[in-house]
Amino acid sequence: MTHSHTLQLSLATHHCLCVQGSSTSDERTIKYKTTPRWNRKMLEEQRNKFWEDALHRKAFGGDARVWSTLKRFMEDQVRAPQSHRSLEVAYSDTEGPVIDTGVIDGNLGLEAHAGNWRRDKETGGMMYYYHFKDGSDEAYKVPAYVITAPSNRLG
């Protein structure tokens, strides 16, 4: 893990992606749009399809135990900002949380790494992918839509 790819969580009114240790920082909120626009049902269908493919169809490779741990971890990321309501932190379900790099599960050797933006066929646009690796150096990539709604969602 290099120091130039450290992620930090901003508890301000928005979340930002900050690359530290380099001469420039790339602050970009984790937001996306879909084409065509998704409604709540379509979003839930895509989320369920992703986890079904990862956990049961082994469509993305990797270990089912790791995918199960990642699912719980990602779901906890959505619940975490809600616990800061006493701090009056604005939280939007259309802004994805920035995940700190580091160990998630020591038994599995599961670590979070920096993610990336790339074109996604499911959303028809750019999508942020969270990156993880397990103790066997197997890579796992999770799209932001599993925990974040599109900014142009219908209803």
Helix/strand/coil (H/E/C) assignment for every residue in the chain: CCHHHCCCCCCCCCCCCCCCCCCCCCCCCECCCCCCCCEHHHHHHHHHHHHHHHHCCCCCCCCHHHHHHHHHHHHHHHHHHHCCHHHCCCCCCCCECCCCCEEEECCCCEEEEEEEEEEECCCCEEEEEEEEECCCCCEEEEEHHHCCCCCCCEC
96 vs 14, 57, 61, CA distance in Å? 9, 26, 24
Question: So what's the pLDDT on residue 77?
Answer: 87
Q: How many CB atoms lie within 10 A of CB 141?
A: 16
Strand partners, 102: 112
Give the C-alpha separation, 43 to 155, whole Å: 11
Question: So what's the pLDDT on residue 89?
Answer: 41
Question: So what's the pLDDT on residue 155?
Answer: 79
49 vs 55, 81, 88, 147, CA distance in Å? 10, 25, 34, 13
Question: So what's the pLDDT on residue 29?
Answer: 76
Whether 130 contacts 144, CB under 8 Å: yes
Q: Which two tokens stand for residue 94?
A: 């259309």
- Block means of pLDDT (10 residues each) for the chain, 155 residues, are 34 28 48 95 96 95 97 86 42 82 96 95 95 97 96 90
Q: What is the pTM of this model?
A: 0.76
